[in-house]
Each structure stands twice: as C-alpha cells, then as structure tokens.
Copies of this chain bind each other. A is one copy, B any other.
Amino acid sequence: MKTEKRKKNGKPLSVKDFKSDRNVKWCPGCGDYMILSMMQKTFTQLDHAKEDIVCISGIGCSSRLPYYLNTYGIHSIHGRAPAVSTGLKLANPDLSVWVVSGDGDSMAIGGNHFIHACRRNLDINIIIFNNKIYGMTKGQSSPTTPIGMKTKTAPYGSYEPPFNIGELAISAGATFFARVPDKSPQLLGEVMMEAYRHKGTSVIEVLQNCVIFTDGIHEKLTDRETKDENQLVLTQGEPMVFGKQNEFGIQIDGMKLKKVRLEDKDSANTLIHDATEEETQQHIALAKLQLPDFPVAMGIIRNTESTSFEEELHNIIEQSQKKSSYKNLQELFHSGNTWEVQ
C-alpha cells in the first residue's frame, strides 16, 4: 500500500538523487566504486521511495559505503550490521533495508549475526564485498583468505581453511544467494534487483578487487581471456553451460557435480538451473565449485519462496492482539488480583 502511494507521488529518481555530498574516499581503482554505483542505479528502480531505503554497514573499507549513498543509513560497528538491521526491519517492515559488509566484517566478527540473519529470513539484502582480506586495517587474513596467501597476519602463508560464503549462507537458511564479480556491472545490477524482489534474506557475494592488498585475486575469473571458461553464469531455467562456445556443461554424478565437454549426445543431461528448488544440496554444490577443476558459479544460485521473519512476527502480533484478554494496558494492569484502598 505504502509503496504504491510513494511510487505514484514521486518523480522518477536518478542516480544523482542517491549520491551524497561526501567525497568517496576509497583507493583509486578499488572495486567498491562499481558496487556503489550499481546500488545507486538499482535504487532508482525500486518501488520504495528514497526516504524508505536504509543502508546499514559494519566497519571496513566496504562499510564506508552508506556515507556515499543519499538515503537513511547507519555506519554501525564491526560485524554487527545484520543485527542492527534486524531490529530496524522488525520495527518498520515497510523499509527497504540493505546491509553492506566485508568478508571480515560478516565472516569473522560478524559470523554469528550473519548466520542468524540467514536462519530467520528477514527481508533484507546483504551485500558482502569479498576481497578476501581486511582492507581497512591494512592487509590481515580474513576467513575467506585462500590457503597459502601471505598476509600481515600470515607472513608464512595462510593455513586456515576458508569459508565458502554461499555454502555457509545456504546452510544457515538463506533463501537467496548470488555471486557476482565487481567487474560484471550488468549482472550485478540484475542480481541486486532480484534480491530486492525476493522476500527474505538475500545474500549477494561480490568478488571485489582490493587494488592495494589483493590486487588481481579474482583475475582468473574476470579476465577477458579466461572468464568464459572460468565463470559458470547461471540463469533460471537455462542449462548450465560455459566456455567460449558454451562447449562445457555441468551434469550430475551421484550427488556430485561433474564438468563435461559437451558432445551432442550428452547435452541432454546438462543440468537446468533451478534457483527456486527447496532442497539445498544442488545450490550448495554449485556454490562450492572452484577453480581449477570447475568454473565458479555466478549469478543467482538460490532464490526460494518463504515467508519473511518480520511477516511472521507481525502476523503473530496481530493475531495475539485480536485474541488478547486485555483490550489495553489498563486492562492488563488491572488483571489478576487487585484490591482497593479507600
């Protein structure tokens, strides 16, 4: 209701409307710029009015983003953006809430809030800028740092097995998960719009390049030469094929996925992508595909229907209000045993 009213009254918004008056202070060349710009672009297309959008972040280079976005926003504390947004969204379910976070912010200190946001399925959109490093604090390992990579805290090479963000999110209950490289703006825009449309927690992992500390870390995936072979771009209802000439496909083999070079005969067995499937196994398997044996899955891996947490809660509130023995506070206060003093 509210949404429609706003749409009618407002004049169409432009990217400029979403630019704040603050100077953007990321390093020149940082992948964060593209994400910001796609958010601004996406926001012009939302059904929500500008004043009904809230962007909440934690701490990190990525988490500076709300300052550059002319909406309501909170630059909160390290790792806590999902928690802050949970309180906010429950308090006012009419808002469109966007969480912006880094791989350290959401996978290290914020891991608990992240998995609980996924579990609850609050209708918020969480964008994780995965540069596989702590940018803001100058180059320490994060829980997505690959084994072997040298960082300030792993001077002899990292030896911690990294999280796969998609696997963790889906297992924790996320009903929407997508992955996009910062270098694919169009896909990023589409994914953001789908995340917006999806009811429930949407997690978008953006493979983001940090020019200072992990420059080129996603290169194999984004390089013009190699990207067709190394990205499996998923489209709902379409077969999972990739390669310059779509010469490869993904098929199943027991409960695993296998990569095949497509000959005419086996293209029939190529999996058709269904992000809306309830079961998580296939989505998890897709999220886990890695180089060099497999391409990395991009686009919307999971997108299933279910009631959002705030709907559930507000339904219960409504129901219990209807059924309550107390019409108002005074009745509550006077319930049970009372007595008069004259």
A residues contacting B by CB (< 8 A) are 109, 111-112, 115-116, 119-121, 143, 156-157, 159-164, 167-168, 170-173, 252, 254-256, 279-282, 284-285, 288, 309, 312-313, 316, 319-320
Greatest chain B CB density within 10 A among A171, A282, A316 is at: A171
Q: Give the docked Cα–Cα distance between A281 and B289 (Å).
A: 12
Greatest chain B CB density within 10 A among A111, A120, A288 is at: A111
Greatest chain B CB density within 10 A among A120, A255, A282, A312 is at: A255
Q: Which of B156, B161, B309 contacts A316 (CB 8 A)?
A: B156
| Chain B residues, CB < 8 A from A159 | 309, 312-313, 316
Q: Give the docked Cα–Cα distance between A282 and B312 (Å).
A: 31
| Chain B residues, CB < 8 A from A280 | 167, 284, 288
Q: Do A111 and B116 touch across chains, with their CB atoms under 8 A apart?
A: yes
Q: Evaluate whether A254 and B252 lie within 8 angstroms (CB atoms) in the complex, with A160-B119, A160-B309 already known.
A: yes
Say how many copies of this protein the assembly contains: 2
Q: Do B119 and A163 touch across chains, with their CB atoms under 8 A apart?
A: yes
Q: Do B316 and A285 touch across chains, with their CB atoms under 8 A apart?
A: no
Q: Do A143 and B163 touch across chains, with their CB atoms under 8 A apart?
A: no
Q: Do A161 and B254 touch across chains, with their CB atoms under 8 A apart?
A: no
Q: Which of B111, B120, B160, B255 contacts A111 (CB 8 A)?
A: B111
| Chain B residues, CB < 8 A from A156 | 316, 319-320
| Chain B residues, CB < 8 A from A254 | 252, 282
The 4 closest A-B pairs by CB, nearest first: A171-B171, A112-B112, A111-B112, A159-B312
